[in-house]
Each structure stands twice: as structure tokens, then as C-alpha cells.
Amino acid sequence: MSEMRPIIDPAGKAGINSPTAANETLDPEDWSDFRAQAHRMLDDMLGYIEKIRERPVWRPIPEQARAPFRSPAPRRGEDLAQVHAEFMREVLPYAQGNVHPGFMGWVQGGGTPVGMVAEMLAGGLNANLGGRDQMPVEVERQVTVWVREIFGFPQDASGLFVTGTSMANLIAVLIARDAALGFDTRHKGVAAGPKRLTAYASAAVHSCLPKAMDIAGIGSDALRLIPTDSRHRIDLAALAEAIQRDREAGLTPFLVVGTAGTVNTGAIDDLGGLADLCQREKLWFHIDGAFGALAKLAPDLAPRLGGIERADSLAFDFHKWGQAPYDAGFILVRDPEAHKQAFASPTAYLARAERGLAAGSPWPCDFGPDLSRGFRALKVWFTLKTLGTERLGAAISRSCALARYLESRIKATPELELMAPVELNIVCFRYRAEDSDRVNKEIVIRLQESGIVAPSTTRIGGRLAIRAAIVNHRTSRTEIDALVDGTLALGRAL
């Protein structure tokens, strides 16, 4: 007994706990210097967001700015203040710009200062949310409780933060696959059984769904792309026929994916109709609500999402209309047992205990592919607690009102053509021209290079469209007018 080291050694005098003369840890030599520098870094980023309107949305990266980023790995550290200065000079000015109100490209959220400081707190805790009995996991469980409430899911539905909706959709495909084939598919592989699975989604489905089918070993061809109606929503009759056809051919339909807010046009499938069909056909009903699902927070839009509460699983992002900093995707699953059976992988070094740090089973790692997981939940917890669902919902409503304003300006301007109905916050249009695809592509590039507004492009019915996805809570009529006026000026000049 006398040779045992003390269990608790607050003075740090025993063995490896001894403070060393030189600082061998990676912590600062001088905490007060570090603190002052850290405060400068915080101030710089708050200033960046506060004054974002004074900057261009985006600017092309000059070659001389890229060059220093090809240097060899640093052997000796530099002063933090110097590295910070380099960041301010070389990185910050050439970011993508989605914090800026003029950013309308793709479908991206603008973030908030609250989310930013929450990220700092999460970084300080350095929590690993794979599992264990720790309060950060309770924060994630709290957000899951809120998510269930928002979407009208049952009290025991399981939820998990993931990188984004691409990963959340993949998780849903894997659970649905295993529920259809049996959970021993995880050991035997999809090729072991005779069943050939087929899934269904509209032709407007996001490309991450075919990719998920590919990764799940089912193959992207097994995702049947069903035609859409004039509002880009899945054609329910064509869907029922496709399922029937596949059954007659001896295939095994297992999954229908509805979209709440398609990536191209913001269309919302008839979720109630899909839920009825899935119930009738005994198919897993998954909803990709990447950005559109959170329209549930806006009282004027929520009724359009009727049926979302009947899904077997729902994928969406807090980093889009939820305005949380990247990344913060979420998967919600009605049947927590199916969810767990698709991912839990018990092993000795992750054994659970009834007390101590290994308590609190099931752990988040039992519900997804990741074991090491950051504290994404914290920025969302802060966002929801400080802004509240009503303010977030109001920002979402405002995005849609701006989209309607843009629609009205396009309709009032003969040189412009609206290319798809405006369902939510996405507007697809183009400048009428002979060589229209080339002209509109060039307009978008020049708008981005101007630094004033940054839309992106897509194709509607094979024709190139300027696509404005209004997601950023800072966007106002000023930026919408700049988009229309800029498009007209460039179109006339080209």
C-alpha cells in the first residue's frame, strides 16, 4: 500500500503531475498575453459580422494570396498575433461570403454572432459527444426534445446531430434498408439476400440521395426518379404506378423520399399524400427537409408542411434557415429501436456502466457512423434559447416575402423571365437573350465578381437559370433590387 501513489494530488507534486520548469504543455507561456490576444481575435470577428455590409460579398482570390498556402509544414511555432494577422490579411477577405446579405447562391445560412461565440465555448470544452455521461450529451438530447416538438414527432423519437442533410439522408437510407432486409444485413451485406430493393423520389430530389443509395450498396439506379407536376412536386399517380411496376417485376420497394423544399425551386411535395401512400404500401417514408423543414417555425408557412409529422425519418439542417454556423445537420427517426439497430456496434472498449463516466447508455455513437463527435448541439441550443423559435420563424417568413418581392419585380420587367413558380425562398429566372445560357452564366459570374450580390445558377427544363436562394436573415430589399438592377445592366451590356 505504501508504494501506491496518492489518488488525489491537488498540489501536483507527485510524478508526472509535477509542474516542470519549462512549459512542456501546449498551453500559453503567458496567459494574460494570450487572453489579450484572444480578446482581439473575438473583437475582430464581431467587427467582421457587424460591418459585413461594408465589404464585398465575395472577391476573386489573387494568385499572390494563394501562394503562401503552398508552404511546407511549420516546424517551429509562430506568434499567435502574427498568425492572426495573416488570417485577417489572407483568409478572411477571400471567404465565400455567406455571412453577407448579398449572398444568395446555393442554399446557405448566414450564421449569427450568438452561434459564433457558442462555437468558441464548444471549442473550449473540447467535448467529444460520441457518448459517456456528460452534460453536453444532455444538451444534444434537449435539442432533440425541441426538434420532436417542432415537427410533431412522438416523445421517444431518436435524433442525432450530423454534418449536414447529405449525411442525415444517408443515415435514413441505411435504417430503411436494414429495416426492410433485416438488421443482419449489416453483417451479411446487401448481396447476401435475394431481395432487390428499390426506392422512390421525385426527379427534383437532391443529388445526395442517389449518392446515399450508392454508398448503401443498393445502387443509385435503384432510386426511381418520378416525374413532377407543374409546381415541381412529385406526381403521386406516377409514383404509385412505378411502385406497382417494380413489385410486378419481383423487386422490393422499401423507401419513398419526399422533399420539403427542393434544392432547385423550393417545391414541397404533397407530404400528406406521400404519408398515405407509404402507409398503404408499407414503405419507409423519409423526408428531405434540408432547408424547408424549418419553415415549420413560420406560422404562415407551417400548414404547407402538413404530413411532416407522419414521416418515419426527417433530415434537415440548422445551418441553413436555422442560421447556426456550419455545420449542423440533424436526423430525426420515429422508431428509436430501428435507428439504434442500424448503427449500434457494441465492443469492449466502449462498454457501458451503470455508474461513472461510462453510464448514460444509449450513446449518440449508437445512432450514427461517427464515434468522435463535436459539440454541434451547443450552437443550436444557444441559437434557439437566445433567439427563440418565433424570431427564427419570422426571419424564415421574411425570406419568402423577399422571394415574392423578387418574383414581382421579375414579372414587371419584360426583359426578365421567371423560370419556375416561387414556392418558398428560391427564385429561378433569366435575362431574355438570344444566346441565353451563355449570357445568363456570364451575368452570374460578373455579379459574383462585382461583390454586390452572389446568386448561383441551375438548370430548369434544360435551360440555364439564375437562381437566388434567399436564406440569409440579413438580406433585404436593397440586395434584391441590386440583383435585379445588376442583372438588367449586365444583360443589356452583354
Ligand X SMILES: Cc1ncc(COP(=O)(O)O)c(C=O)c1O
Q: Is 332 strand, coil or helix?
A: strand
Longest dimension (CA), the chain: 92
How would you class 348 by CB atoms within 10 Å of its CB: exposed for 0-12, middle for 13-18, buried for 19 or more? Answer: exposed
Cell 419568402, located at residue: 400
CB 170, min distance to ligand X, A = 9
- In the complex, residue closest to ligand X by CB: 164
CB 249, min distance to ligand X, A = 29
CB 78, min distance to ligand X, A = 34
Rounded distance between C-alpha atoms, residue 481 and residue 410, angstroms: 10
Cell 448514460, located at residue: 360
Rounded distance between C-alpha atoms, residue 18 and residue 428, angstroms: 65
CB 209, min distance to ligand X, A = 8
Nearer to ligand X, 181 or 426 (CB): 426
CB 330, min distance to ligand X, A = 10
On whether the CB atoms of residues 377 and 327 are closer than 8 A, the answer is: no
Q: What are phi and psi of 400, to 5 degrees?
A: -70, -35
Q: Which residue type is seen at 274?
A: L
Minimal CA–CA distance to 406: which of 490, 298, 483?
Answer: 483
The one-character DSSP state at 463 is E
Nearer to ligand X, 263 or 419 (CB): 263
Q: How many residues appear in the chain? A: 494
Nearer to ligand X, 223 or 484 (CB): 223
CB 106, min distance to ligand X, A = 6
Which residues neighbour 408 within 8 Å (Cβ) at sequence distance 6 or greater?
Answer: none
What is the DSSP pairing of strand 284-288 with strand 252-259? Answer: parallel
Nearer to ligand X, 107 or 256 (CB): 107
- Cα distance from N-terminal residue to C-terminal residue, the chain: 87
Nearer to ligand X, 215 or 433 (CB): 215
CB 266, min distance to ligand X, A = 9
Nearer to ligand X, 165 or 313 (CB): 165
Minimal CA–CA distance to 130: which of 144, 117, 115, 140?
Answer: 140
CB 143, min distance to ligand X, A = 17
What distance lies between CA 126 and its chain's CA centroid?
22
CB 212, min distance to ligand X, A = 10
Nearer to ligand X, 448 or 458 (CB): 458
Q: Is 465 strand, coil or helix?
A: strand
Beta bridge partners of 332: 159, 314
> Where along the sequence are the contacts to ligand X (CB under 6 A)?
107, 164-166, 206, 208, 259, 261-263, 288, 290-291, 317, 329
CB 76, min distance to ligand X, A = 38
Nearer to ligand X, 246 or 423 (CB): 423
CA distance readout (Å), 66 to 62, 188, 216, 397, 451? 7, 48, 38, 39, 19
CB 319, min distance to ligand X, A = 7
Nearer to ligand X, 181 or 314 (CB): 314
Q: What is the DSSP string of 23-67?
A: --SSS-S-HHHHHHHHHHHHHHHHHHHHTGGGS-S-----HHHHG
Nearer to ligand X, 399 or 450 (CB): 399
Nearer to ligand X, 320 or 409 (CB): 320
For the sheet with 197-202, list strands across it. Answer: 158-162, 329-333, 313-317, 284-288, 252-259, 197-202, 223-226
Rounded distance between C-alpha atoms, residue 251 and residue 221, angstroms: 13
